[in-house]
Amino acid sequence: MEQQDIKKDTPLGTPPPISGDAAPLDPDRMFAELERKISDSGHQMDLGRIRAAYDMARVAHSGQKRRDGSPYVTHCVAAADITADMGLDEDSIIAALLHDVIEDTNLTHDDISRQFGTPVADIVEGVTKLSRMQYTSKEDEQMENLRKMLMAMAKDIRVILIKIADRLHNMRTMAYQTAEKQRSKSLETMEIYAPIAHRLGMQRAKWELEDLSLQYLDPDGYKEITDALEAKMDELKVFMTNVKDRIQARLDAEGVDATIFSRIKHVYSIYRKMYAQKLDISGIFDLCAFRVIVDTIPDCYNVLGIIHDMFKPVPGRFKDYISTPKPNMYQSVHTTVIGSEGIPFEVQIRTWDMHHTAEYGIAAHWKYKMGDGANMAVRSGDEDKFAWIRKLLENQQESDAQDFFHNMKIDLFADEVFVFSPKGDVINLPAGATPIDFAYSIHSDVGNNMVGAKVNGRIVTYDYVLQNGDIVEIRTSKSAPGPSRDWLNIAKSGSARTKIKQWYKKERREENVIRGREMLAEELRHNGLTLDDVLEESIVAPILKRLSFGCVDDLYAAIGYGGITATRAANRLRDEARNLKPDKRNVIDKISEAAERRENQAKKSGKAIHGILVAGLSNCLVKFSRCCTPVPGDDIIGFITRGQGVSIHRRDCTNCQKLLSQPGNEGRWVDVSWADAITDSYVTTVVIAGKDRSGLVMDIATVLNSINAKVRSLSARDTGAGVALTTVTLEVKNSTELKYVMSRLSSIPGVSSVSRNGK
C-alpha cells in the first residue's frame, strides 16, 4: 500500500511552511507554479488574462506584508491555487487573485469590471466584507457581512467557494497570528465556514478547516490525538494493508472492477467521538476507513453484499445515501464491519461521479464540465441545490442579529434527521425537530392550522422529538386558533420560528403593538428614560426608515412578535439621539446621562471589588446573589444587606423586583456597574428543560465538554410530567460567553428551553 493511502486526503493547494524560521515566500515563483498547474489540468484557460490579474493584485497590494514577512499578494496566489485545485473556472481563479483588492486597496468594482468583466467584479465584491461601515454591535456586523455573502452566493456560488479558499489559506498560516486571533478565527471557522463547506459537500475542505481550527481551540487535545496516531501508525499500516489486499483479491475474483483507498479518520472526527463517548483514543477501534469506488450503482450494492459476506456487519451501522442522498448531494453506501482481528472499520462504497461530488461538493458540478460553456451562477434546474440559501435569506428578514445567528446555526449546521410524509416524501429537518417543524416545512398554512400530529400512526405531543425514519402526519382544522407563542420555544428550525412570527405579525397586530410598547417602555425605564424622551420625530424617523417601518406602531408590533428586540430598539433610539444637531443637545444630554449615570457614579467610588464598582461606597463587601447569578454584561443593581455588604442582582431578577416593591427598602438600593477591564470568571446557573429520555444528561455533558465549559456542578431531576430539568452551574467570563453556551445547549435534541436562574 502506498504511503498516501493511510494519511488524510491530499489537501487542496500547497500548504505553506509555518516554521518561524521560514524565509518569506516568493510570489512570482508561487504564480509560476499556479500557471504550471493550470496548464497541466488540461482545461482551456487564457493564461495571459490570469497573468494580468496577478499583475493587478501585485501592484495593488504593493508594500503590504503578511505576518510572516511575505508580500501580501502571496496570500492571493495561494487562494487562487486552492481555487484551481477545486477545479473552478478561469473567472474564479482571477477573482481569487483579486479577492482582497476592493477591501484593502484603492481599486474599485469599476476598475475590475473594465479589465476583467462584471462577473469577476461581482464575485470580488461579494467576497468583500462590509468593513468600512459602522455597526452598533459585533453581532450586527457579523449578520450584515453574512447576509451580504448569502445574497452574493444566491447569485453566484463561486463567492463562497473563493471565500472558503481564502479562509483555508488563512487557517494554514494562523501560526503567525496572536493567540487571541487564533482562537477567535478558529471558532468562527468551526461555527461558520466548516459547516458551510459541509453543506456544499466539500468534504476535503471541511476536514482540513476542522482539523486546523481544533489545533488552536484545543491544542492539548489535538496533540494527544496526533501523538497517539503516530505511535499506532506502524500497526495501522499493517492492518489496513491486509484488509485492503483481502478486499481487492475478492473483488477481482468476483470480476468487479474497483479502486480501493484506505485512510485514517481525520483528527476532529476522532476528537468528537472521544468526547461524545467519554473515551480515550485506545478505546476507539474504528480509526480506519476504506473507500471502494466502482463504475455503476448496481456495482455499489454488489460490493456491499461481498463485504458483508467477507466480514461481520455491525447492526444499526448501515446507511444508504445512494437511494436517499444527503441535502449536500453526497451519495455513498456506508457500512461498518468487524474483521477477524475483532477490529471494526467503516467501508464506503460509491461510483466515480459520487466520489468527485463527495470530494469537491458543489464545485464538482462544474469541475468536469469546463469547455461546455458552464458557469457557476445559479441556473434553472439548480434551484433545489441552493434552496437553503434562499431560506436563510428569508429567515433573516424577520430576525435581529442574535436570533438570526441562533437560527442559522440550527438550520444550516446542526445534524439532520430524515422523516417521511404519509405519501413517502423524504423531509430533512435539523436534529431535535418536532412535528411543528415538520408542519411548517410542508407549508405555512399547514403549520398555522395544525391541531395535532401522528407519528408512525400514534398521536404524539407537539414537543415530540422526531427520529430518522418516522412517518409524520399532521392534523389540521380550518377553525384552528393558530400557533401558540409557546411554539417558538418548541420549534427547532429557524424557518418554523420565522413563519410563526410572521403569523403573529399579520394576525395579532393590535396585541403585538400593546406588547411591544410595554417592552420598549420597560427597557427605556431601566435607563431612566420614558417613551416621551425618545419619540420626537427627529429621533424616531431615521430609525423607522433604517428598519423599514412605516410608523411607530410598526416598530412596537415588531418588538411584540419578536422581529426585533426591545434592547436593540432602545439602543438605536439612544444612538440616533446622540447624533442630533446642537439644538437637540438637551435631549442628547438627557439620554446619555440616563444611559451612563450608574457607571459614572460607580467610578467615583474608586477601586473595583470582584469587578464591581459601587456608587458612593468604597472597600465594601460585595457578594453575588444566588437567586440570579449575574455575570459581566448583565444589567445589575446593588442591594445593601444587613451585615453582609452589597448584594448584586440582575435587574430582571424576580427576587429583585419583589425587594424593589417592598416598602422601607427605598434607601437600601445603590447603583453599581461592571468595571472596564474584567479578567475574573463568574459562577452562574442555567436550567435546561427537555423531554425526559435516555441519554439526555450525557448529551448535555458532551456539549459542555466540546466547548470546554468550566462546569462546577450538574444535576438532573424528573418533574413527573415527561419533562426533565437539568441544572448546570458553570464559570463564564461574561454574558456573551454564557449566551453561546446556552445556544449550544438549546440545539440538543429534546431540549425545549434553556433559561437562567432568577427569571
Q: Which residues contact 253 (CB under 8 A, 6 or more apart)?
A: none
CA 590 to chain centre: 40
Distance CA 544, CA 542 (A): 6
Q: Vertex 27, ends 24 and 28: CA angle to 5°?
A: 130
Burial class, 542, CB count within 10 angstroms (exposed 0-12 / middle 13-18 / buried 19+): middle
227 is catalytic: no
Q: Are strands 288-294 and 344-351 parallel, antiparallel or unpaired?
A: parallel
Q: How far is residue 575's CA from residue 411's CA, in Å, rounded to a whole number? A: 33
DSSP 584: G
Looking up cell 477573482 gives 95
Q: What angle do CA 175, 176, 182 make, to 5 degrees?
A: 60
The grid coordinates listed for 181 are 486571533
- Residue whose cell numbers read 487562487: 80
**Cell numbers placing 560:** 411584540
Contacts of 327 (CB under 8 A, 6+ apart): 199, 388, 416, 428
The cell numbers describing 451, all together, are 391541531
Encode burial over 266-275: b for 16+ CB neighbours within 10 A, e otherwise.
bbbbbbebbb
* Catalytic residue (choose from 104, 473, 553, 652): 104
Instruction: Return left, alpha or beta for 13; rule: phi > 0 is left, psi -120 to 50 is alpha, else beta.
Output: left
Contact between 351 and 296 under an 8 Å Cβ cutoff? The reply is yes
Structure-block grid coordinates of residue 513 = 403593538
Q: What is the dihedral of CA 628, 632, 634, 635, to 10 degrees?
A: 110
Active site residue 252: no
Residue 236, CB half-sphere, CA atoms under 13 Å: how many? 24
Rg of the chain on CA atoms, in Å: 29
Q: Which of the 8 DSSP states describes residue 410?
A: I
**d(C-alpha 111, C-alpha 118), whole Å:** 10
Q: Where is 567: in which H helix or E strand?
A: helix 566-578
Question: Which residue has 423607522 as its cell numbers?
Answer: 544
Query: Do the Cβ atoms of 670 and 617 come closer than 8 Å?
Result: yes
Which residues in 119-223 belong to E strands, given as ranges?
none
- Quick count: other Cβ atoms within 10 Å of Cβ 748? 21
What kind and span of H or E run contains 79? helix 73-85
Distance CA 219, CA 211 (A): 11
**What does the block give as the cell for 395?**
429567515
Within 8 A by CB and 6+ apart from 247, the residues are 260, 290, 292, 307, 310, 347
State whether the Cα torsion 558-563-568-573 is positive or negative. negative
- Residue 384 is given by DSSP the state G
| Contact by Cβ (8 Å): 533, 442 | no
DSSP state of 634: S
Task: Output the CA torsion sign for 554, 558, 563, 565.
Answer: positive
Q: How far apart are CA 488 and CA 124, in angstroms?
A: 38
Q: Name the strand (E) or helix (H) holding 695.
A: none
- Could you tell me which residues are beta bridge partners of residue 377? 156
The b/e string for 338-363 (b: 16+ C-beta within 10 A; e otherwise) is ebeeeebbbbbbbbeebbbbbbbbbb
Sheet bearing 472-476, strands edge to edge? 458-460, 450-455, 472-476
Active-site pick, 9, 35, 103, 575 = 103
Q: Would you please indicate which residues are annotated as catalytic (active-site) residues?
A: 103-104
